[in-house]
Structure 1
Amino acid sequence: MGTGYEPLEVLKPVADDIWIVDGPEIRFYGMPFSTRMTVVRLSGGGLWIHSPIKLSLALKARIAALGQVKALIAPSVIHYAYLTDWKHAFPEAEAWIAPGVERRAERHGIPLEFDHYLAGANPDWAADFDWLVVRGSKTVAEAVFHHRASRTLILTDLIENFEKDKKPWWMWPILRATGIAAPNGSMPRDMRMTFRGNEDLLREDIERMIDWDPKRVIVAHGRWFEDNGAAELKRAFGWLLDG
């Protein structure tokens, strides 16, 4: 069974100067998870790559043909495993990591090479993005990015939106119970619990994303939202905003 997002390792246009690349499945909590990265051509030249997927020779060639890689982004402690492979393949790129990634990699014995921390940084590529590191979680600090020119919000796990026809039958009750079943994907309920006691900080950051007024919302796992992005954020976080 494939991921349901074939063809894999191929650049798929989202809007001008922004693409997604669907990658192979990984196992997470024993379940098959699809993977996805986002590629942006920066206004100043070069490529910005978010949540790099497993790197193959074919994918490396396609990226190199598109342009020079300037930035590699590991946006959370769940999305960093292939960063070093990409850093070796594109040594001219600067690698950026979210809070907690360095400690997580050390704990799991995963090699990690990077150049900068995202927290408190003001990188050159920030001219193309609104962005922030979401506050309040006791375990996961996800960095989120809004590409202004295309009005595309780029997330990883703050919203997951798995489609029934792309998953084995036994996963569907789990996906529905955890609130991550399409078309009504949301933040996984186990992740919500990590914000307990700090909901006000999360609410402020979600409201800020809504104020960016994204047209699209890219997520790493499942169906992404091609339009009505701000409305989808309000729906997905209704449990927080209406509380």
Structure 2
Amino acid sequence: MLERLGDRFWTHEEPLEFYGVELGRIMSVMRLSSGGLFVQSPAELTPELKAALDDLGEVRFVAPASKLHGHLYMEQYRAAYPDVELLAAPGLAPRRPDLRFDGLLGDVPDPRWAADLDQVVIDGHRWLSEIAFFHRPSKTVVLGDVGFHIDRTSPLKTRLVARLLRIYERVGPPIEFRLTIANEETFRRSIQDVLAWDFDRLVPGHGRIVESNAKRAVLEGYDWLLED
């Protein structure tokens, strides 16, 4: 149910089909120094998943990657954990008027998780800002839709579509995302902020986890942005 990847870091993968293409989606769970759990891109809170989370600690914070990625099921966590704090990515609150958010995510981590987690807003796109996280104890970066990683382990249809979208065996966003970047310099600085972290593993929004040498994978996946 929850797979341990590193020091105080777990993931849970669930199916996600988009226009008939199976992409999958990954939830990340990080246990903070305080003992509470920080959940990124929450999955459907089944009884089995809730039991697995409860075995790790108390769910304290639940965060999406963006207004499009990772906000599903947040209401289930509010119902199951009355003291949980739901955090909004830029632009999410108007999309989810059914939810009461306890904070807005930005470039500065809250002191309650700053000892374990860093974060940065990946900005510069025409209509989407995303929050990237860095979990220091496990040296893991967690991304959303700016970090697809589709490889040979995906279904054939997914691999074929990934080739068309230029995300096959590369870490990065689909081609239509690249073509709608409004401020390339701002977007480039955001990715450089991610690359400044001392990470070795990367959890993408969709696809296969990069278990090691993840910084090189990001550099290669974003060569279209970073090379002169």
- TM-score bucket (shorter structure): over 0.9
Q: Aligned runs of 1:12-23 on 2, under 5 Å?
A: 12-23=3-14
In 2, distance between residues paired with 1:104 and 1:193? 24
Q: Unpaired segments of 5 or more residues in structure 2? A: none
TM-score w.r.t. length of structure 2: 0.92
Query: Number of paired residues?
Result: 226
Q: Percent identity, aligned pairs only?
A: 31
Q: Secondary structure at 1:181's aligned position in 2? A: coil
Question: Does the CA contact (< 8 Å) of 2:61 and 2:87 recur in 1?
Answer: yes
Q: Unpaired segments of 5 or more residues in structure 1? A: 1-9
Are 1:145 and 2:133 counterparts?
A: yes
TM-score w.r.t. length of structure 1: 0.87
In 2, distance between residues paired with 1:213 and 1:235? 17
In 2, distance between residues paired with 1:159 and 1:39? 18
Q: Secondary structure at 1:179's aligned position in 2? A: coil
C-alpha RMSD of matched pairs (Å): 1.6
In 2, distance between residues paired with 1:138 and 1:129? 27
Q: What is aligned with 1:5?
A: none
Q: What is aligned with 1:234?
A: 219
In 2, distance between residues paired with 1:171 and 1:227? 23
Larger relative helix fraction: 1
- Tell me which of 145, 149, 170 is aligned to 1:157: 145
Q: Secondary structure at 1:224's aligned position in 2? A: coil
Q: What is aligned with 1:223?
A: 208
Residues 165 and 207 from structure 1, CA distance in 2 versus in 1: closer, same or farther, beyond 3 angstroms? closer
Q: What is aligned with 1:176?
A: 163
Q: What is aligned with 2:86?
A: 95
Q: What is aligned with 2:64?
A: 74
Instruction: List per-residue Cα deviations over 1:83-141 (Å, max 9, x = no partner).
Output: 111111112111111001122335xxxx3232111136642112212211111112111
In the TM superposition, structure 1's runs of 4+ consecutive aligned residues that sit over 4 Å from their partners are: none
Letter in 1 for 2:174: P
Residues 159 and 121 from structure 1, CA distance in 2 versus in 1: closer, same or farther, beyond 3 angstroms? closer
In 1, distance between residues paired with 2:66 and 2:86? 13
In 2, distance between residues paired with 1:191 and 1:116? 27
Letter in 2 for 1:199: E
In 2, distance between residues paired with 1:71 and 1:222? 24
Q: Secondary structure at 1:113's aligned position in 2? A: coil
